[in-house]
Structure 1
Amino acid sequence: MINKKVRLLSVLIACVMLLAACGGAANNGANKKAEGQTASSESGGTKILRTNNKSEPGSLDPAIIKGTHESFVVYHAFEGLMRYDENDKLVPAQAESYEVSDDGMTYTFKLRDGLKWSNGDPLTAKDFEYAWKRVIDPKLASDYSFQITTYVKGAEEYYNGKGSIDDVGIKALDDKTLEVQLKAPTPYFLDITAFYTLLPVNEKVVSANPDWAKDPQSTEFVSNGAFKITEWNHKENIKMVKNDNYVDADKVKLDGLQFDLLEDNNTAYQKYEGGEYDVLVSPAPAVTAKAVQSKDPELQMGKDLGVYYFEFNTTKKPFNNVNVRKALSMALDRKTIVEKIAQGGQMPAEGIIPYGLNDDAKKDFREANGNLITEDKAKAKELLEKGLKEEGMTMDDLKNCTLSYNTDEAHKKIAQALQEMWKQNLGVELNLENMEFQVLLDNRKAGNFEIARSGWMGDYKDPMTMLDLFMTDNPQNNSRWSNKEFDALLKKASSTGDQKVRMDSMKAAEKIMMEEMPVIPVYFYTQPRLQKPNVTGVYKPLLAYPRFIYADIEAK
């Protein structure tokens, strides 16, 4: 037993030392620039804010993107009817105002005057109607089609081939008026209109070139946000310039943005330290830990509504067995993972729903539903033996199983810690495999995995945003887990405006999910970033990456 504890401690210490070495490498760089010199100082007087984006996007089309590595860019190129402002308050954006019917079933949006696309075309309510109906076109196969089919009248029937597009409750009454009819009262529908799937697209551009969003250099990338994309140098960077046709262009102080597509945390930190980046998002854990300890004024600790987890492919043995899944979850030490490896102020997960969302009694939903995560090594051993026996398998069969994660030093160390904890506490030996993030996303969607690293950031401020992706028919349900009672509870919550009924249903649904454990919640996210002292106006909504719309780079 002593040797096992020493071995685990050694692995954890090695993780921290390696991360510290990576973070410290930049401090010894021979080409480090003078303090205060930033990327913008190389741009001939123009203000180009440069930052990192950890992965190559699969697309920049709002209707089909599915991750923060894509939305980080897209939210700067497009704007929806609503958005979150600098105080994280939901406010009208492309909309000037809205009205909600007394029964909560009809929303009427009035658009602002003079809206234009980046190419000068008028932007009208018809663009929103086209964009939203495009999302639910079965031929597009949008992973986020459920954000409309779940709520909008007639949308699900059309998507499933049982209804007409003309019966979908999305209609431009005139150039400035959009009417949306819902199936049931949805208290968070306004939040959904700020989500990237419901951003508008230009029908003329999309119809002319179905690949319009894959390569901006082959066609003009037309958008309606504060910036427009001018270059996408794949695996290298994405460049944007100020959109003079943006409705609030007079408030935009930057001339442009550059997102480097860079997975390596060490290189990214070197660029920040060398003055090549003005902002560094999600630095390596050891870098964040050092900044926390030294009270570095450049460290900004952003709040997040998200959970870091590992998902099982519940169609593959032995992970189809609930006892095996629960055993692997129970054998983890989340506190050690958070404090010794992640090191970014994260909280050990207590369920799938993080802190920060209120229930009907205005109490934090997480606190009200309690800690649903159990850590018990002895019980884990019993459950694993029972589960393997039920599947006619032995411990040796697990040696052929693999945990997949995307290339990133922090993900690697966490995966290694899980591997060692399972080996020490259960005698389980699993393989590890790393890959590019987009490849991991594609493999998870195709079911080409056994256990895979994952994470989920809330799309809107309601507990449903963390639960509905695990419904049986949700395209995002990579685990393939299905539970009729869980589905029924969420459908009940979605069919009423009674907040107590909604919250009680979702609390019961979360308990069912955590009892069956199709995923292993590890911790609740935070999002640290490093930001140069002369960069101002950056803000981070709870539900998204930092926004640079009103940022500025002040002269030194």
Structure 2
Amino acid sequence: MADSNNVSRRRFLQATGGAAAAAALAGCSGGDGGETTTTSGGNNTNATTQQTTVDLEGTTVNMIASTITTFDPVAATDTESGRVIQQVFDCLMQYPQAKTSVTGELATDFSVSDDYTTYTFTLADATYHNGDSLKASDFVYAWERLVASDKSRRAYFALDSIGIKHEKDSDGNYKSGTLGVTAVDDSTLKVELEEPFHATKEMLAYTSFAPVPEGIVGDIDGYDGEMEYNKFASEKPIGNGPFEMNTYSKGTEVALDKYDDYYGTKAAADHIHWQIIEDPNAYYEFTMNKNADIVNDFPTSKYDPKKVNVDHTTDFGADVGTYGPVRNGETMNYVGNTPLNTYYIGFNMKSVPKPVRQAFAYAMNQQTMVQEVFKNRGTPAYFLTPPTIFPGGPSAAKDLAKNEYPYGYNKSKIAKARQVMEDAGYSESKKFNVTFTQYDSDSWESMAKILRDQLASAHIQMNIQRVPFSTLTQRGRQGQLEAYSLGWVADWPAADNFLQLLNPPQTDTSLKGPISYLNWTAENGDAAEKATKAYQTVRDNPAPTDEAQQKRDAAYKKMEKANWEDVGFLNIYNGLREVMWYDNVEGLKPFGGMGFSRYKLNEVSTK
């Protein structure tokens, strides 16, 4: 839902049944074995159940990935690439155990000015995988790449999300070399913001902000580059994380080696290996043959919720227990958690009238869909904001939805759907035809068929079209969708990361870089002005203070209710993420709300 050259706080989810695959736009997906998926920038791989072809001596943690697109931190927008990048590159901050609170990583200390606009970081004594020492000037270079390189897909993170000081040229574009990032000395970095931003530290844990050796590639002014770009991005990324690249074979496998000179907790395993598998049957066979030690979400078609046995729940909401026995007789260890994500049906409000959108909402029973289609691998969603970061928390979200959701809380109201359509002039002889576009997912297709059959009695002819994920997002940017399946996973743990998608001025697909495909205006939505004003309140109160937070919280709720009124997004569910592993794995802990893709694997090994 964004321009592929300037993606901001945007991470789309490619929902693949209960095992939903996180995807960060632009046009990228990250299949995790849940269903067959198609990923922009890569080929749909042949199903394979063969193990690694590289010689990895010592302990190896074997896993499964879907298509990888790049290892360049500023170019990566898909979760599968991000899983690898997370192990190779470190940042100033980190989400320990993928929990939603940050601590220092490369930053050993930091201070913040009284007005919250200047951050000063003291850097760790770290080295890169090529032997270079980490210096503050590396951040200056790396972040200039983030905002100025034509390879970058995350410039918006620095220029808009955080709002680092910078100058613009006469066309309103970033002026090279003006980013407010300064190397005070080799171990001190200063970052200056245009105004306060409440999630600055959290954003700096995102791998787009990872440092690289100054001048490593020559894709910005003033640098010739020590490496050819494709080698850096596809063969030998140079980071300073606990693992370094061993080999990458496109469509086949990725292998990392332990980095012996790592400044932090050194890797317990000698290697990490991912087999790249797209086909869910091959994924399952690979796992049953014990070629994978750890798996992220069984394919929905092979998943049995009755085999989950929860022993206890952590204080951050992760269920811990076992799954099994599986087909090979083993009982696997299990962690399940619902990270910050929401799946939804979106509408191009310009081409789908409000009564039709409301009829969809009346027909939808979120609870039934979660139970029957997604096998309880998630919870019903009535807000775009996930419950754990909703103002007041999960109980407040549940109470508000239960008491005020206008289309039926955990129920389908077909009679109301039919009535709203008839009030708008539709009938059996005058039906509204709408195309529902979904990416490759059997589970989403099952949901779509149920909805199609329900809407038939409400004078709506719904046609289902299944396309590759990249095709869907391309059509969305061009304003060519009507109704479609998508989702979002958090870039930072706050409601505005989600609700920016509902800010009407940013949803115009006739402009470059729409943040969503809604085309929400006063002409097609009575609540567009409410949503616009509410998001302006969020922007006017960006500081990390209690007073500003209270104003943002009130605005968040107004935006959610405006979406209820006009039905731009019909929220479906918050997806459960599950990780299972065999007993030969040691050191794997429950993951938190930022998801397993943010989990560092340096303490994990095999025996």
Question: Which TM bucket (shorter chain)?
Answer: 0.7 to 0.9
- Equivalents in 2 of 1:363, 1:268: separation in Å? 34
Residue 327 of structure 1: aligned partner: 359
| Counterpart contact for 1:252–1:549, Cα < 8 Å | yes
Secondary structure of 2:487's counterpart equals strand
2:343 is the alignment partner of 1:308: yes
Secondary structure of 2:148's counterpart equals coil
Residue 357 of structure 1: aligned partner: 389
Answer with 540-549 or 476-485: which moved more: 476-485
- Residues 141, 79 of structure 1: CA spacing in aligned structure 2 closer, same or farther, 3 A cutoff? closer
- Equivalents in 2 of 1:141, 1:446: separation in Å? 21
Residue 280 of structure 2: aligned partner: 265
- Equivalents in 1 of 2:261, 2:478: separation in Å? 40
Q: CA deviation at 1:519?
A: 1.9
| Counterpart contact for 1:82–1:193, Cα < 8 Å | yes
Query: TM-score, normalization: structure 1?
Result: 0.81
Residue 280 of structure 1: aligned partner: 295
- Equivalents in 1 of 2:416, 2:425: separation in Å? 14
Q: CA deviation at 1:162?
A: 5.9
Q: CA deviation at 1:60?
A: 2.9
2:418 is the alignment partner of 1:381: yes
| Counterpart contact for 1:52–1:277, Cα < 8 Å | yes
Secondary structure of 1:479's counterpart equals coil
Residue 26 of structure 1: aligned partner: none
- Equivalents in 1 of 2:182, 2:540: separation in Å? 22
- Equivalents in 2 of 1:159, 1:210: separation in Å? 32
Match of 1:69 among 67, 80, 89: 80
2:447 is the alignment partner of 1:414: yes
Residue 212 of structure 1: aligned partner: 230
Q: Counterpart amino acid of 2:63?
A: T
Q: CA deviation at 1:194?
A: 0.7
| Counterpart contact for 2:120–2:188, Cα < 8 Å | yes
Residue 262 of structure 2: aligned partner: 246
**Deviations, residues 444-483 of structure 1 (Å, cap 9, x unaligned):** 4444433322111111121112112333336432334354
Secondary structure of 2:577's counterpart equals strand
2:187 is the alignment partner of 1:173: no
Q: CA deviation at 1:101?
A: 1.3
Q: CA deviation at 1:357?
A: 1.6
- Equivalents in 1 of 2:531, 2:69: separation in Å? 31
| Counterpart contact for 1:83–1:91, Cα < 8 Å | yes
Residue 456 of structure 1: aligned partner: 488
Residue 50 of structure 1: aligned partner: 62
Q: CA deviation at 1:85?
A: 1.0
- Equivalents in 1 of 2:576, 2:366: separation in Å? 15
- Equivalents in 2 of 1:44, 1:137: separation in Å? 38
**Deviations, residues 410-439 of structure 1 (Å, cap 9, x unaligned):** 33433333333434x535343333344444
Residue 571 of structure 2: aligned partner: 521
| Counterpart contact for 2:98–2:596, Cα < 8 Å | no
Q: CA deviation at 1:523?
A: 0.3
Residue 244 of structure 2: aligned partner: 228
Q: CA deviation at 1:100?
A: 1.1
Secondary structure of 2:163's counterpart equals coil
RMSD value, Cα: 3.5
Residue 595 of structure 2: aligned partner: 544
**Deviations, residues 138-160 of structure 1 (Å, cap 9, x unaligned):** 84562561454233243484696
Answer with 198-207 or 98-107: which moved more: 198-207
- Residues 151, 242 of structure 1: CA spacing in aligned structure 2 closer, same or farther, 3 A cutoff? same
| Counterpart contact for 1:125–1:176, Cα < 8 Å | yes
- Residues 507, 97 of structure 1: CA spacing in aligned structure 2 closer, same or farther, 3 A cutoff? same
| Counterpart contact for 2:91–2:105, Cα < 8 Å | yes
Secondary structure of 2:255's counterpart equals strand
Q: CA deviation at 1:117?
A: 1.9
Q: CA deviation at 1:332?
A: 1.3
| Counterpart contact for 2:491–2:497, Cα < 8 Å | yes
- Residues 198, 494 of structure 1: CA spacing in aligned structure 2 closer, same or farther, 3 A cutoff? farther
- Equivalents in 2 of 1:163, 1:280: separation in Å? 42
Residue 4 of structure 1: aligned partner: none
- Residues 287, 136 of structure 1: CA spacing in aligned structure 2 closer, same or farther, 3 A cutoff? same
Q: CA deviation at 1:548?
A: 4.8
Residue 403 of structure 1: aligned partner: 437
1:436-451 alignment, distance < 5 Å: 436-451=468-483
- Equivalents in 2 of 1:260, 1:448: separation in Å? 36
Gaps of 5+ in 1: 1-14, 17-21, 24-32
| Counterpart contact for 1:334–1:348, Cα < 8 Å | yes
| Counterpart contact for 2:347–2:482, Cα < 8 Å | yes
Residue 476 of structure 1: aligned partner: 515
Q: CA deviation at 1:273?
A: 1.2
- Residues 87, 195 of structure 1: CA spacing in aligned structure 2 closer, same or farther, 3 A cutoff? closer
Match of 2:108 among 89, 96, 105: 96
Answer with 286-295 or 266-275: which moved more: 286-295
Query: TM-score, normalization: structure 2?
Result: 0.75
Residue 7 of structure 1: aligned partner: none
Match of 1:508 among 550, 555, 558: 558
Q: Which has the higher helix share?
A: 1
How many matched pairs? 508
- Equivalents in 2 of 1:43, 1:491: separation in Å? 56
Q: CA deviation at 1:203?
A: 4.2
Percent of paired sites with the same residue: 21
- Residues 383, 134 of structure 1: CA spacing in aligned structure 2 closer, same or farther, 3 A cutoff? farther
Q: Counterpart amino acid of 1:529?
A: V
Match of 2:334 among 299, 314, 322: 299
Q: Counterpart amino acid of 1:411?
A: W
Q: CA deviation at 1:111?
A: 0.8
| Counterpart contact for 1:279–1:531, Cα < 8 Å | yes
Secondary structure of 2:241's counterpart equals coil
- Equivalents in 2 of 1:307, 1:185: separation in Å? 27
| Counterpart contact for 1:50–1:258, Cα < 8 Å | yes
**Deviations, residues 152-200 of structure 1 (Å, cap 9, x unaligned):** 2434846962664455332222222221222332222111111233223
- Residues 362, 270 of structure 1: CA spacing in aligned structure 2 closer, same or farther, 3 A cutoff? closer
